[in-house]
């Protein structure tokens, strides 16, 4: 269900919006997208977005990654839940962050994304997502030691 921005603003004053973000790690590194719209226009971010009515957080992150990058992904773990009140300058959010791996597709930008790239060493991220990446990399290193 699509909700107009003006309605989201009304709702978000009463409660945080549920979001799903994806830390996609492939052979070439960490997948990031460059925002082509405010807030954070020109900044690098993780693919992700709102959890729509009728879908799970898991479905939302896979959908958002596909919509924003053109890549099909598979969830390999839960990174964490992030709820700092001012993470998103527009409204309060609660983001559920997942670790994913690419399983197919081709890069394609859309109206929200001007560039898609894998990074060996990620730049500073918007929306306070650096914490998500650090936690995801810690999770990956922990799994590799097993």
Residue 100: how many other CB atoms lie within 10 Å: 25
Domain region containing 79: 5-145
Intervals of the chain under pLDDT 50: none
> Does the N-terminal peptide bond of residue 39 adopt cis geometry, omega within 30 degrees of 0?
yes
Spatial separation of the C-alpha atoms in residues 127 and 58, rounded to whole Å: 20
- Catalytic residue ranges: 115
Q: How many angstroms separate the CA atoms of 70 and 72, rounded?
A: 7
pTM, two decimals, is 0.88
Question: What's the structural domain count of the chain?
Answer: 1
Provide the CATH number for the domain around residue 124.
3.90.79.10
pLDDT single digits (tens) 77-112: 999 999 988 778 888 899 999 999 999 999 997 899
Query: How many CB atoms within 10 Å of residue 140?
Result: 15
- What pLDDT does residue 88 have? 81
Q: How far apart are CA 51 and CA 28, in angstroms?
A: 28
DSSP-assigned beta bridge partners for residue 17:
93
């Amino acid at each position: 269900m699509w909700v107009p921005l003006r309605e989201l603003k009304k709702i978000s004053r009463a409660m945080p919006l549920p979001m799903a973000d994806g830390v996609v790690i492939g052979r070439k590194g960490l997948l990031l997208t460059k925002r082509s719209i405010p807030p954070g226009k020109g900044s690098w971010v993780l693919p992700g977005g709102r959890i729509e009515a009728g879908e799970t957080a898991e479905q939302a992150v896979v959908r958002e990654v596909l919509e924003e990058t053109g890549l099909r992904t598979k969830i390999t773990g839960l990174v964490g839940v992030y709820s700092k009140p001012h993470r998103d300058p527009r409204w309060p959010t609660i983001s559920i962050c997942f670790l994913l791996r690419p399983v197919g597709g081709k890069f394609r930008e859309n109206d929200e994304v001007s560039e898609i790239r894998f990074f060996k060493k990620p730049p500073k991220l918007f929306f306070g997502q650096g914490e998500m990446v650090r936690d995801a990399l810690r999770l990956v290193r922990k799994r590799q030691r097993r």
